[in-house]
Structure 1
């Protein structure tokens, strides 16, 4: 056999240490995004904070480790660094959710809200891993330049392996605590490898105790308040944490800890959340309900809206675009996607689908979210032009937004309203909760420049059969919003995150529909769903 295909020697203990430190640090960085997303989302601020804290902690570790390496570097100290790192990871698994929720209530602007949690949870273990490279370089000896280059190369290879392994193996297959267990055990195994062949006595006991601590922390699933109910299904998808939870007579789909769809188990076609009722209002803006024969939903979730449309309008074909294939599978298994030629599911990005399809629609419903934020690429004027091109001449666009209709928390809503007005002659909105609170606001845009008044809509509601009585819903009608102080959102500048700063710390009021035979009975009630903790 050609020896070039086989290593000439086993990795040395310093090489093993540097490689594993790279694997572990990069794995923790990706895990940080999963732990923080349910509370802080996946915004540029969250990921910028993660990257910044990790780099700062590593740099400090490199600096302090380099100063101590000449006098303190030893295999025993490397063992201690890895065991301390693994023990801290056990603490992250056990207490991470408590730390995230506790720091999430601090009165900080949204740009900086995640920084305390990132620093407390991931600063110390990353700082400790920073000691590994200078210690390993000192222990490896030899020419300083050659040794330093070799250490950096091995560490970088470890980081590459950690990035790909965590992204493509651990996240799709394991829960957040299990990923923490794997990364923590990698540090424990590195400690054992560095200690060998003297892995006995006190060192062996320390390695065993830390390994047991990791297993125990993972077995608890983490401490922290959770959502009551029975977890029917849970998984880490390529995009988010997904859970299906039954509570009472309601089944809810949670994505990154936030409720995205809900279904009444005793009547799957009944609206659970009030905002989904407004999807039917699109039929009132069309010339005639009978003329609507094809509807597109961008964002599937639990497919509750698409399914209700499919069942309510027997002549309508419903297309649904959902980015996450795991969401489609969960919706099919636990919510029931109709097996019908009038229900078509497309897996992919909504904007990409609209750019590639030649089909036009009578109604397009935008209901895609990451946590409680619309992906910025679905908010811009360029996207609105694309959506308008895919609408028939009398087509209607419905956008579900989470914002406030007025006050400091209304900037995103008013910016989106202004953006849609750049493309559509008429834009209407319907807040679902009343008052200046953060809530679902349904924004409806039409290509028809004739203004439909509230009274004309009420008259159409009385004349047309759209499946439910919308008379009370239409009372929240708004038009001609003030937009002078907000920007038009564009592909090259769509500051969605900063526009939502005013909503930080405000209560998000999600209204439950109280329906009896298709009508709203009684007063609306506000609901604030507790966050689902990111553990198994």
Structure 2
């Protein structure tokens, strides 16, 4: 249990291969189901092919997590690469990380490789997902990397009551087929914002097109005002915000270049990601999602 008034740094990010952000890593076929487990929430599949291993929630669902077997520093899915751009908005390296949504644990393990001293908290509703991440995706806890098996909104409220704060928060709890609607409302994002330090950064993996994208933008803007967006191939976009003043594009470019040496571990270059970064256009005439109005799943593409 974290003590009162602990200042935490929450990060949600992944890396990309230089020159490969445009989607080359995702072009492989999965032919063999090597493990299957039904939990209270979903049918978890581990599938392999062409040297890759992925987690899926059902045979016809999108890939949740993928790794290249034997190459833990290779971050495969495009959205995970884009999430690393959260670091480009940070004035200094985060000291603790909060990740809402575990999947195969690729992101916390990448952050552990990036900084062995970083404090990382992951929150995952399904204990079966945690077990599969450990058994098939090399997810390992340690003294500074903890897993909390509970609802993400409950966890956020607990940290809010304790006065805890984070430097960087990552939300990666959605997929193309289902959204926990209570994690995409103005009230929830207000709670998340209250956990951020004054220069704290939020990064969220969201959708790039369709009606839901406009409602997402309006909801995030209602809480964080100005946002950056990073469009990634595969239908994902990353929304990036800071609790207080949004850094200017020149500042973002300067921070990003400072990260290039460290992120070379993942073969990620700011020159690959920054051309995709832009201000999120203002959502006009679009209803904000709230605890009283949250038809997110009806808005899916």
Q: Give TM-score scaled by structure 1 length.
A: 0.47
More strand by share: 2
Unaligned runs of 5+ in 1: 1-226, 504-536
Unaligned runs of 5+ in 2: 1-28
CA–CA separation in structure 1 for the residues paired with 2:65 and 2:241: 23
Which residue number corresponds to residue 182 of structure 2? Answer: 377
Residue 88 of structure 2: which of 267, 275, 284 is its match? Answer: 284
SS in 2 for 1:423: helix
Which residue number corresponds to residue 463 of structure 1? Answer: 258
Cα deviation code 1:494-514 (max 9, x no counterpart): 1213332xx2xxxxxxxxxxx
Q: 1:394 to 1:238 in 2, by over 3 A?
A: same
Asked if the contact 1:425/1:447 (under 8 Å) is kept, the reply is: no
State the Cα distance separating 1:466 from its structure 2 match.
4.4
SS in 2 for 1:401: strand
State the Cα distance separating 1:371 from its structure 2 match.
5.0
State the Cα distance separating 1:369 from its structure 2 match.
2.2
Structure with the greater relative contact order (CA < 8 A, sep ≥ 6): 1 or 2?
2
State the Cα distance separating 1:315 from its structure 2 match.
2.6
Asked if the contact 2:88/2:253 (under 8 Å) is kept, the reply is: no
CA–CA separation in structure 2 for the residues paired with 1:306 and 1:298: 11
CA–CA separation in structure 2 for the residues paired with 1:450 and 1:245: 40
Which residue number corresponds to residue 77 of structure 2? Answer: 273
Residue 125 of structure 2: which of 292, 305, 323 is its match? Answer: 323
**TM alignment of 1:277-426, pairs within 5 A:** 277-289=81-93, 292-357=94-159, 358=162, 359-369=164-174, 371-404=176-209, 409=210, 411-426=211-226
Aligned length: 263
SS in 2 for 1:426: coil
SS in 1 for 2:270: coil
SS in 1 for 2:148: strand
SS in 1 for 2:271: coil
**TM alignment of 1:80-229, pairs within 5 A:** 228-229=30-31
Asked if the contact 2:124/2:149 (under 8 Å) is kept, the reply is: yes
**TM alignment of 1:248-259, pairs within 5 A:** 248-257=50-59, 258=61, 259=63
More helix by share: 1
State the Cα distance separating 1:374 from its structure 2 match.
2.8
SS in 2 for 1:372: coil
State the Cα distance separating 1:228 from its structure 2 match.
4.4
State the Cα distance separating 1:412 from its structure 2 match.
1.3
Asked if the contact 1:427/1:479 (under 8 Å) is kept, the reply is: yes
Which residue number corresponds to residue 447 of structure 1? Answer: 243
Task: Report whether the alignment pairs 1:490 with 2:290.
Answer: yes
State the Cα distance separating 1:248 from its structure 2 match.
1.5
SS in 2 for 1:233: strand
Residue 38 of structure 2: which of 236, 249, 260 is its match? Answer: 236
CA–CA separation in structure 2 for the residues paired with 1:414 and 1:396: 21
Q: 1:473 to 1:488 in 2, by over 3 A?
A: same
CA–CA separation in structure 1 for the residues paired with 2:235 and 2:255: 26
State the Cα distance separating 1:373 from its structure 2 match.
3.4
Q: 1:238 to 1:499 in 2, by over 3 A?
A: same
Asked if the contact 1:244/1:252 (under 8 Å) is kept, the reply is: yes
CA–CA separation in structure 2 for the residues paired with 1:485 and 1:425: 15
CA–CA separation in structure 2 for the residues paired with 1:285 and 1:394: 9
CA–CA separation in structure 2 for the residues paired with 1:495 and 1:451: 32
CA–CA separation in structure 1 for the residues paired with 2:121 and 2:244: 24
Who wins on radius of gyration, i.e. which is larger? Answer: 1
The Cα RMSD (Å) is 1.8
Cα deviation code 1:463-518 (max 9, x no counterpart): 23441312211211121414113211100001213332xx2xxxxxxxxxxxxxxx
